[in-house]
Every structure is written in C-alpha cells, then in structure tokens.
Chains A and B, each alone.
Chain A
Amino acid sequence: MADDRAVTDLESFLAERGEPLLRTAVLLAGTREAGEDLLQAGLERMLRHWSAIVGDPEGYLRRTLYNLAADGWRRQRAWRGRLRLLQNETATAVTDGTTEVDTRDALIRLLVQLPPRQRAVIVARYWEQLTETETAEVLGCSVGSVKASASRGMHRLRELNGAAPGAENDLTEEKAR
C-alpha cells in the first residue's frame, strides 16, 4: 500500500537522521519522554504540511521542533507542574554536589527552567553550534532577538547556577508572558 510504503520511508529517514533530531528534541523538551513526544509532534506537523516541503526533510523537521518548542508547545502547562519538582531536585543537587557530574546534571535542570524561547536559543547556539544568523533563521526571528535571548538565557543560567533565591518567581513571571 502506498501509505505503508511512505511510512516505511519515513522510518528509514528516522533511522538515518532520527538520533540527532531526537537529542535536540530531548534538550528542547527537557526529558526523554517529552523529547519523543516533541519529535512525534514534529513528524505529525511534517506529514500535515508535506506537500509544501521542498528538498531536505531534515531541515524542515528541525525548524518545526524548534518552533514547537519555542512556542511553548502543547505541554506548556505540564511543564509548569514539572518545574516545581525540577527546582526541588536542583536545590538538592547544587547544595549536595561538588563533582562535575553533579554540576552537569544541575545545568540540565537549570536549562529546562528557562522560558521556551530562551531554551531553544541556548540549545541552538550551544548544542547545535549554530551561528546567531542560523539560529534566527531556524526560529524565524531576528538576529537581535537571538542575541537578546541567548544573553538573557546565559545570564539566567549563571544566576540559577549560583542558586539565586527568587528564581522560581522570575520563571513564573516569564512563563506567564
């Protein structure tokens, strides 16, 4: 059946390029489960708009992942609930840990506390090593916006990494925007 064959081809594409895309999705979404959901959501959107896609499907899917993530995606509400748990874990890890591993774990926890757009910019710039211009293209925003989000994001990470009290309030404020 033609549809079956199409899905098989998409599976082949994922077998080739799925892993780096999923890694990005996991970072954008905050957990593996959420990352898989985000990737699936990206695939669904790709299927919906497939007739408009020209050329490399990977580029389209990557942009979709970023835009879904930057727009807060459909799990935004769930994230709010998850934040409290993550922040509690963060506090434990930071005060407890002195090893490099603890620091890395803490950084990931801090990363997922960033507002979606800042998190997306940080992932694009420091995980995928995209330039500011490339990041702006992927997210569909201006280079100035990327610079501002990256600056704010890193500043926030530094603040949170220092276990600044009151971070939870700031986050709540950002999420409400």
Chain B
Amino acid sequence: MSTELEQQLRAAMERFTDDVRVPPRLAVKAYRHQQKRRMTTRAVAAAGTVTAVAAAVAIAGAAGAFGSATSPPVQTAYTAYVVSHVEHALAAPSLGHLVEADRTTLPPGSTLQPFPDVLVGSTGGAGSAPQWNAGYTLRWIYHGSAEFSSFTASGQRVFDWGVTPAHGTTAVIYGNDTWWTAPPPSSQGGNGPAPGCIQGHEIALGGGAGNGWPAFIRSQLACGAYTAAGRQVVDGIDTIKITGNSSPFTFWVNPANYLPVQAVLGQRQTEFHWLAATPANLAKLTVTVPAGFKHVPAPAPPTRQAP
C-alpha cells in the first residue's frame, strides 16, 4: 500500500467535501418523508385487512405509535448529547486555562453576607439573615482563587470578598469601612458543601472557586430533569437553552464550547464571560483594602439550618 497514495486520497477527500453544507430543514424533510412512508406502510397493511374497523385501528395505531415513539426520544437523546458536552466543558480540566467572570443581578430585597469560607445570600425566605443589601454582584474565579464584589442596585459598592488557597479570605466591607481576614480553612471544607438539587430560598454561593457556577450547574444536571429546549440568541450568541423541567433553573450555553452564556435561577440572572488568564484579568482576583478602613475580627461561620 502506498503511503503517498493514502495521502493523496485523503487530500482528495478533503478537497471534494471542503465546502459541503447541510441543506436547510433536512431534519424536517427526513421527518416528513419518514412519516409519509410510515403512514403509507400502515395504509397498505390496513388495506389488506378484511374489515374497515381493522383498518381504522391500524391507522390509529400508526399515528399513536409515531407520536409516542419519535418525539420524546429525539428530545431525550438530544438533551443527553448537549448535557454531556456541557458537563465535559465545565469539568475542571477544561476550565483550567480560563478566568470565569460573571455578573449576577439579584431580585429586590436580596441580601448577602460574607463569611470566612462562604457567602450567604437570601432573597427574603427563611434561614439566616444576611446583613447587606445587594442589587448585583461581580465575580472572578481562576485556579482556586475567587474575588466577589457586591453592589447595591444603584451601583454602590457594598463589599469585596476574596479567597485564595494560600492566603485565605480577605473581605472589605464598604458599608461600615471595615475589613477582616481569615486563614485558609484547615479542613477540606473550604469550598462548602456540594450544591444539592435546588430547593428553598437560601443559596450558599460557595466560598472557594471549586464551588462556583460550573460545579453548581454540573450538580443540577446530575439531578436530571433538564431539557435542551432549542436555540435562542443571547448576547449576540446563538445559544442552546437548557431548562429545568421542574426547577426554576434555566441556562444557555454557547454551542461552540458548551460553556454557559447566561443563567436564570428564580429571579436571579447571571451573565458569564470566559476570559484568557491575562495579567489584567488575573489582577481582578485581588482584593484591595482602602486606606483608613478598620481591621476587625472575622465573623463566625454561619450556622446552616436544615432545609
């Protein structure tokens, strides 16, 4: 066998197919053609029966079988296809070289409070009562480090909160001109509990970078009951929309890399950007303490209530 011939053959194949495009509506054509064939087959079968009643039953059976045997499985398999790609994209190795930057808009009445290992937020339900009003948040995450800034709805900075594996947590509270630090957690609990399936109003956003949106989304997908619900343009990107069948969580992924572009959880909306780890972007992970702020002890960790 000639290696040169193989190379020529591959080049020929490449060239022969380099500008093929899938015709529009090919799936529609396939669906209609298949439906037509199936109905014809059934009609022929029905014609062979001795009574009109039998024919009617056969045709009704055909229609029923077609409706139930194609749509849900198509949906399910496509969802499985998309979800597996999203899970892979959000796995730690895939995200290793990217800085996650997100902006979350919170519903009116939301509050947040920073603790050494965790941020606790509330949208007014039961649970602990976080201290600071929050309109929106900005967060940067990279390689186990995170910086989180909370703002009022009018854009006034409320607090900055940063955590690194080496230096622990630093928080600057603009509401009372204080700041505090806390060492890295000695146990493995620094990332907080693994997010479970969504329930209740209280949402632990996760202290460390390990518990950001990627982990949250993966955990929700692991709960099942999510559907790839077609395409939607978000922020100029023709995204795939993924909705929770019974949960209030919906998110949109970029089909080019299956990373989230936007997420809506109840009344909270988050936009994502996945950025290169440039010095300018990495600098966003640093919390700066303004001059004149008073150093205070870190608050005690919150006590979580059972859901």
A10 touches B27 (CB 8 A): yes
Which A residues are in CB contact (< 8 Å) with B15? 101, 104
Whether A96 sits at the interface, judged by CB under 8 Å, is: no
* Contact flag A22-B31 (CB < 8 Å), given A9-B74, A57-B78: no
The closest CB in chain A to the CB of B16 belongs to A108
| A interface footprint on B1-12 (CB within 8 Å = 1, 0 otherwise) | 110011011111
A50 touches B31 (CB 8 A): no
Q: Which one, B64-72, B105-113, B174-182, B213-221, is touching chain A? A: B64-72
A14 touches B26 (CB 8 A): yes
B217 to chain A, nearest CB (A): 19
Give bound CA distance, A127 to B18, whole Å: 12
B20 touches A3 (CB 8 A): no
Whether A121 sits at the interface, judged by CB under 8 Å, is: no
Which A residues are in CB contact (< 8 Å) with B230? 5, 8-9, 12
Whether A43 sits at the interface, judged by CB under 8 Å, is: yes
* Residues in B1-50 with C-beta less than 8 Å from chain A: 1-2, 5-6, 8-13, 15-17, 20-23, 25-31, 33-34, 37-38
A12 touches B231 (CB 8 A): yes
Whether A164 sits at the interface, judged by CB under 8 Å, is: no
Which A residues are in CB contact (< 8 Å) with B16? 26-27, 104, 108
Q: Which one, A32-40, A80-88, A133-141, A165-173, is touching chain B? A: A32-40
Which A residues are in CB contact (< 8 Å) with B69? 50-51
A104 touches B26 (CB 8 A): no
Which B residues are in CB contact (< 8 Å) with A57? 77-78, 81
A9 touches B75 (CB 8 A): yes
| A interface footprint on B76-104 (CB within 8 Å = 1, 0 otherwise) | 01111100100000000000000000000
* Contact flag A7-B26 (CB < 8 Å), given A57-B81, A108-B12: no
Give bound CA distance, A126 to B16, whole Å: 14
* Residues in A99-129 with C-beta less than 8 Å from chain B: 100-101, 103-105, 107-108, 111, 122-123, 126-127
Partner of A40, one of B33, B38, B80: B33
B27 touches A14 (CB 8 A): yes
B5 touches A154 (CB 8 A): yes
Which B residues are in CB contact (< 8 Å) with A105? 12
Whether A163 sits at the interface, judged by CB under 8 Å, is: no
The closest CB in chain A to the CB of B240 belongs to A12
B8 touches A104 (CB 8 A): yes
Give bound CA distance, A104 to B9, whole Å: 7
* Residues in A146-172 with C-beta less than 8 Å from chain B: 151, 154-155, 157-158, 161
Q: How many A-B residue pairs have CB under 8 A?
A: 158
A50 touches B74 (CB 8 A): yes
Which B residues are in CB contact (< 8 Å) with A100? 8
B20 touches A56 (CB 8 A): no
B24 to chain A, nearest CB (A): 8
B34 to chain A, nearest CB (A): 4
Give bound CA distance, A108 to B15, whole Å: 10
Give bound CA distance, A107 to B15, whole Å: 11
B141 to chain A, nearest CB (A): 27
Whether A72 sits at the interface, judged by CB under 8 Å, is: no
Give bound CA distance, A15 to B255, whole Å: 10
Which A residues are in CB contact (< 8 Å) with B29? 40
A61 to chain B, nearest CB (A): 10
Which B residues are in CB contact (< 8 Å) with A18? 22, 26
Which B residues are in CB contact (< 8 Å) with A6? 31, 70-72, 74-75
Question: Which A residues have a C-beta under 8 Å from some C-beta of B?
Answer: 2-3, 5-16, 18-19, 22-23, 26-27, 32, 35-36, 39-40, 43-44, 47-48, 50-51, 53-58, 100-101, 103-105, 107-108, 111, 122-123, 126-127, 151, 154-155, 157-158, 161
Q: Known pairs A36-B23, A107-B12. 19 more at Cβ < 8 A?
A: A3-B71, A5-B230, A6-B70, A6-B71, A10-B74, A12-B231, A13-B78, A26-B16, A27-B17, A44-B34, A47-B34, A53-B73, A55-B84, A58-B81, A111-B9, A111-B13, A126-B13, A127-B10, A151-B1
Closest 9 pairs (CB-CB, A-B)? A43-B30, A104-B12, A18-B22, A10-B27, A23-B17, A6-B71, A50-B73, A44-B34, A6-B74
